[in-house]
Structure 1
Amino acid sequence: MRRAHTMAFGSEIVDGGVRFALWAPTARDVVLVVDGVDHAAPEAGEGWRKATVPGAKAASRYGFRIDGDLVVPDPASRFQPDDVSGLSEVIDPRAYAWSDEGWRGRPFEEAVIYEVHVGTATPEGTYAGLERRLEDLRDLGVTAIELLPIADFKGGRNWGYDGVLPYAPDAAYGRPEDLKRLIDRAHSLGLMVFLDAVYNHFGPAGNYLHAYAGTFFTERHQTPWGAGINFDGRESGHVVRQYFLQNALYWLEEYHFDGLRFDAVHAILDDSERHFLAELGETVRERLPGRRIHLILENEANQARWLERDGTGTPRQHSAQWADDLHHCWHVLLTGEDAGYYESFADRPVEHLARCLSEGFAYQGEPFRTLDNHPRGEPSAHLPPAAFVTFLQNHDQVGNRALGERLSHIADPDRLALARAGLLLAPQIPMLWMGEEWSASTPFLFFVDFAPDEDLNRAVREGRRREFKSFAAFADDTSVIPDPTEARTFRDSKLDWSERERSPHREVLADTRSLLALRRDVVVPLTKSRYLGATATLPRPDVVDCTWRFEGGSYRFVANVGPDPFSADPMGGRAFWTNAPDGSGRLPGWTGLFLAGGRA
């Protein structure tokens, strides 16, 4: 089985050579350079420069000389062997022989997502190294892995959100065929593979679009990263939109990913009649009707509009959204922290938790304190639980802490055990942050590598320390904050898989595995049937009681997050999980139970 995505951008192998195309509407002169030889790149209308070079082939190296002296890589490069400023490499996507021809994906209700940063997930920090861990993840009960962004970024270490070449998997992790082999192997084990895609900005180093396609950006829209991407420009908007639409299809078709997670879509600013997010979701659905493709949003605005279902329960556009609200509720309860956005959940954390469990969003249009009491969110109670990806930790919530502490470093382990069960047995789609399944001891720190640009390195280093200067713990000394530009910070973030065999990590791993087996056997058969709704009550201010109803049956979660015992009426239900000492409905502080059946 051979796969290739055909598009107007970039290089494409044709009979007898390679066709090259560059959209350069603001360049005066463009010369195509292939294997050290200059070739004319004549205008082809509407800002396009195109040329076919006989004799060029896979592995040929090429770039574009702009206005006399600046040689830039292809913005749709399929691979950059020498980083973001080097020449692009012609890749023949049909060279890889896939073995997963029969793979069509899995229902989203079966998803247990494992979020992973390729560079720190294994000692090797490569696609091949991660491939060797897939059986461990399958045996744990994971059904999908989600890769942090892999689009080519400056240097050899980065979270991935500084990518500048969205079509080129970063060479720090291996070659394109290594990534394909990882996905192919995952599919053979029944694992889906998702990719984090960044369509809201480009990184600060290695983006040359301004030199030849200045209208790719617009001052009409301002984002945290500067001028916005021009999704709605009258003259450029169509090409800009196609650049990202084709990118999504490229990953799904050529690399056979099972889904994409779109980063911070609230920062995709678009005044068009048809918002880019709508076009993105609808285009993917129309293009790939025979596969189970899952599209996930990160959206601080809590806009339920993108998650609507049709009459059969199938997503019209996007499958789910990261449920930050639920994370914030659990985090406040587990740690007592109330700074930043946690302030908006610290007033009534149990009430907010109950609403998240039963309706998806805690804020559905109410004033949000962290946004100066501006309304946040849209009504979401009509959406099924599978419209929400839930988590106790992720790369942001760990890595954006000054010292990269995991939740297991700052929360009581017994309390964390209740939250873990609440995450993995609730009907929403659970996500684990790599190493969370055994309470890994290693931190996940913020790291970059912009060398030899020491000015940019210095700006990042000083900005990081300035960010935490207002925190009491660092007010007098920010030197304890790891330097994000040092290689050691990256190395310290690598998982130590051997500790899974040692206490207390061994016990946490066994608990996670047991919970995921219960999810598979008890929860998923219910959630795959039609959703009928949910109710949640607070029988006491520190107790949440939530029931979800499906066509296949109902089940219930009762959690006591206070210090005093609580007696839960089983209402005819059968407990399939509890951490109460005697296994009964009497729940001491920070215990709970899940019950199947009973009176809904």
Structure 2
Amino acid sequence: MRRRHAMPFGAELQAGAGVRFRLWAPSAEAITLRLHVDGGLREHPMQRLDGGWHACSVDEAGAGTRYDFVTPGGLAVPDPASRSNPDDVHSASQVVDPQAHDWRDDGWTGRPWHEAVIYELHVGTFTDAGTFAAAAERLGTLAALGVTAIELMPVADFPGRRGWGYDGVLLFAPESAYGTPEDLKRLVEAAHGHGLMVLLDVVYNHFGPEGNYLHAYCPEFFNAAHATPWGAAINFDGAANRTVRDFYVHNALYWIEEFHFDGLRLDAVHAIRDDSAIHIACEIAEALAAGPGRERHVHVVLENDANESRFLLRDASGRPRHADAQWNDDFHHAAHVLATGEADGYYADYADAPIARFGRALAEGFVYQGDPSAFRDGEPRGEPSAHLPGTAFVSFLQNHDQIGNRAFGERLGPPAVQPDRLEMLLACLLLSPHVPMLFMGEEYGASSPFLYFCDFGPELASAVAKGRREEFRRFAAFRDEAARARIPDPNDESTFRASVLKWSEREAPPHAARRALVQQLLALRSQWLVPRLAGMSAGGQYRVDGTLLQVRWPLADGAGWHLAANFGAAPAEPPRRGHVVFERCADGPRLRGDGVRIALERAGG
């Protein structure tokens, strides 16, 4: 099986021989294609076409040919639609034959969304080698754990050798530090062999601060009418926006069709400025559904701090109209307050009634559904979400943001969090109807932090390090300059190295016990809950009695799923209902402090 996504951009191999090159640059009077061949450079004038396009076909070019484009001012730039940039983002692009890989997963049609158990991982720190190939070797352990989907943090080519991926600038080129496009395809293929879906995190709200040359020769790519933290917004709704929108629609289709990914996670949709009649996130979802989604399961997940449930609506048959789910930060924030007692920053919005806030997140998805947010100076946040099924929410106790944006990248665990409380919250997460997500290493309580790291050029690196430390000035613990100086420098390689997982910990105490608990919970989820999630139509109800939280969800087969959790020190006695699927810290009908009970009440009793 050979796979290729045909694009109007960039370098496309021709049926006979040669390569067709196309670049969109409406403001440029002339563009020159420059080939790097036989140790020298050969220039080919490109023909200016209607609509701002520049194009030419070159017979001598083929797979492996290095090339770039030269602007009227003499600036050589990589192809913004490059499939590969082996020497990083400032260097020449490389022609790729997408059909060189012979896929061996022809029978793979994906998995339905209600089966998803997501494992978020960063390729560079997931293994010592930090490559696609090394990650592929670890997939069997994740499948055995009970994971059904891996979610890769962004792999679009970013400047330097180290980074989270959210500063990508070449959106079609896999990060060269991780391996070749072929290596990434083998990773996806290996995952499918283990029954794992592969989701890719993509960033469509901005480009990184280094290596984006579009500003220099294609100002039409941006819309100065919208200001963002990164400068002018990407032009999704201004003049000449159709080509820009096509660039991103093709990028989404490219990853799904050419690399056989099973879905995309769209980063920070709230930061995409788009006043069009159809939001670009919806247009992308529609294109995926009308294309590869006709033949297999293709999923769209959003990050959206605005809690706009309109993106998550279901049709009359219960199928998502656009996005399958959204990352549920509200669940995390309420759980974090219950785990740590922290009330700084946005946690203040959950600290007034954390048990009730957590109960609402479990039962209804969003905590803030149009409610005023004290953290946002009383501004209302969110839209109603109780009408949505639990599977419309990806919930988590940890992720890259919530760990990495802490000064020292510390994970949730001792001494800040007592083991009983953390294990109770894990049960609430993994045995709720939400789609659960684990961050790499969380399943065994990894000791390694996940710090913010990058690899920018010297001037930008200095500014980033200074800015990173100044961000924490408002926290009492970092008001002193000496305290801020202890925050790791994001550009120092040791910051990156400290974040690499220690796989040997998995088999050592107490890590092995945590891993066994997670595996047990996921096995129970697969046996008792997953078969009853398909077709689940709405959320649940919750009540709080002192420190006792009770939640009930109606499942698709008419059964009821019950959760009881005691967040106090004194024992509590919730009503016993149905078959007990899981419980801990229980004395008969009573739950001791940090006790939890999950039960299934079948239809008709």
Please state which band the TM-score falls in when normalised by the shorter chain.
over 0.9
Match of 1:543 in 2: 548
The letter for the 2-side match of 1:42 is: Q
Would you say the 8 A contact 1:350–1:541 is kept in 2? no
Inter-partner Cα distance in structure 2 for 1:55 and 1:43: 21
- 1:217-296 correspondence to structure 2 within 5 Å: 217-234=222-239, 236-288=240-292, 289-296=294-301
Q: What do the CA deviations read for 1:78-119 (whole angstroms, capped 9, x no partner)?
A: 000010010000000000000011111001111000000000
Match of 2:35 in 1: 34
TM-score by length of 1: 0.98
Inter-partner Cα distance in structure 1 for 2:111 and 2:195: 8
Q: What do the CA deviations read for 1:321-366 (whole angstroms, capped 9, x no partner)?
A: 0000010010000000111111111111111111111111001111
Match of 1:70 among 62, 66, 75: 75
1:463 aligns with 2:467: yes
* Greater mean deviation of Cα atoms: 495-504 or 282-291: 282-291
Shift of 1:585: 2.4
Inter-partner Cα distance in structure 1 for 2:516 and 2:527: 17
Inter-partner Cα distance in structure 2 for 1:532 and 1:152: 40
Match of 1:124 in 2: 129
Match of 1:486 in 2: 492
Q: What do the CA deviations read for 1:357-409 (whole angstroms, capped 9, x no partner)?
A: 11110011111111111111011111111100000000000000000000014
Shift of 1:266: 0.3
Match of 2:18 in 1: 17
Would you say the 8 A contact 1:533–1:550 is kept in 2? no
Match of 1:204 among 199, 203, 209: 209
- 1:33-432 correspondence to structure 2 within 5 Å: 33-35=34-36, 36-234=41-239, 236-288=240-292, 289-409=294-414, 410-432=416-438
Give the secondary-structure state (helix, strand or coil) at the position aligned to 1:338.
coil
TM-score by length of 2: 0.97
The letter for the 2-side match of 1:495 is: L
Poorly superposed stretches of 4+, deviation over 4 Å: none
Shift of 1:426: 0.3
Inter-partner Cα distance in structure 2 for 1:68 and 1:334: 57
1:565 aligns with 2:571: yes
Shift of 1:469: 2.0
Give the secondary-structure state (helix, strand or coil) at the position aligned to 1:489.
helix
Inter-partner Cα distance in structure 2 for 1:441 and 1:277: 37
Match of 1:519 among 522, 525, 550: 525
Would you say the 8 A contact 1:29–1:68 is kept in 2? no
Inter-partner Cα distance in structure 1 for 2:247 and 2:546: 51
Inter-partner Cα distance in structure 2 for 1:164 and 1:26: 20
Inter-partner Cα distance in structure 1 for 2:19 and 2:200: 28
When residues 361 and 52 of structure 1 are mapped into structure 2, their CA distance, relative to the original with a 3 A threshold, is same
Inter-partner Cα distance in structure 2 for 1:277 and 1:141: 30
Match of 2:506 in 1: 500
Would you say the 8 A contact 2:388–2:538 is kept in 1? no
Inter-partner Cα distance in structure 1 for 2:212 and 2:530: 44
Inter-partner Cα distance in structure 2 for 1:312 and 1:79: 41
Number of matched pairs: 594
Inter-partner Cα distance in structure 2 for 1:551 and 1:66: 59
* Greater mean deviation of Cα atoms: 409-418 or 291-300: 409-418
The letter for the 2-side match of 1:316 is: R
Would you say the 8 A contact 1:526–1:554 is kept in 2? no
Give the secondary-structure state (helix, strand or coil) at the position aligned to 1:46.
helix
Would you say the 8 A contact 1:3–1:93 is kept in 2? yes
Inter-partner Cα distance in structure 2 for 1:39 and 1:273: 41
Give the secondary-structure state (helix, strand or coil) at the position aligned to 1:201.
coil
Give the secondary-structure state (helix, strand or coil) at the position aligned to 1:456.
helix
1:4 aligns with 2:18: no
Shift of 1:29: 2.3
Shift of 1:222: 1.2
Shift of 1:523: 0.9
Inter-partner Cα distance in structure 1 for 2:205 and 2:528: 39
Inter-partner Cα distance in structure 2 for 1:64 and 1:446: 33
Inter-partner Cα distance in structure 1 for 2:370 and 2:539: 20
When residues 228 and 532 of structure 1 are mapped into structure 2, their CA distance, relative to the original with a 3 A threshold, is closer
Cα RMSD over matched residues? 1.1
The letter for the 2-side match of 1:24 is: A
Give percent identity, aligned residues only: 52
Match of 1:594 among 591, 594, 598: 598
Would you say the 8 A contact 2:451–2:495 is kept in 1? yes
Match of 2:477 in 1: 473
The letter for the 2-side match of 1:295 is: V
Inter-partner Cα distance in structure 2 for 1:532 and 1:471: 40
Match of 2:537 in 1: 531
Would you say the 8 A contact 2:448–2:499 is kept in 1? yes
The letter for the 1-side match of 2:560 is: S
Give the secondary-structure state (helix, strand or coil) at the position aligned to 1:227.
strand
Inter-partner Cα distance in structure 1 for 2:66 and 2:365: 49
